[in-house]
Amino acid sequence: MSSAPRRVAIALIGILAAAAFGFLLKLMYDMSQSMGHMTQDIASMATDMHRMGGDITVLSEQVAGIRTGMDVMAADVRGMRASVDRMSAVIQSGGRQIEQINPMGIMQQMAPSGR
């Protein structure tokens, strides 16, 4: 090979090597940028997960409070049921007493006789 084509070949190889090196530098830069973004996203996700853990703890405490409230409400409803049952028994007892007294008979006795 003569010196002119050899120089052209070396120049082309040099240009291709420089282009490949530039491409690799750009690729590494882009990868570095992507890794930086991913690191930020992972840090943001970790912060969100930590916050979510706190929210789950609060939710768990609220559910426990609701359960306690429901237990209290159930006890209140049972108490109300017992009160209604007692009141019903009193009313039934009063009704039987009124039947035994026979208010119509008492009113007839109190009314002046029209004879």
- Please tell me what DSSP assigns to residue 114: -
Instruction: Please determine, for residue 95, whether its predicted confidence score (pLDDT) is greater than 90.
Output: no
Q: What are phi and psi of 111, to 5 degrees?
A: -70, 140
Residue 25: inside a domain, yes or no?
A: yes
Place of tokens 């789950």: 56
Residue 20: inside a domain, yes or no?
A: yes
Instruction: Please determine, for residue 94, whether its predicted confidence score (pLDDT) is greater than 90.
Output: no
CA distance 102 to 95: 11
Q: pLDDT (tens digit, 9 = 90+) per residue, 50-76?
A: 999 999 999 999 999 999 999 999 999
pTM over 0.85: no
Question: Do 91 and 44 fall within a single domain?
Answer: yes
Residue 111 confidence (pLDDT):
72
> How many C-alpha atoms does 98 have within 13 Å on its Cβ side?
8
Residue 108: inside a domain, yes or no?
A: no
Residue 102: inside a domain, yes or no?
A: no
Range of the domain at 74: 38-97
Mean pLDDT of the chain: 88
Q: What percent of the chain stands above pLDDT 70? A: 90
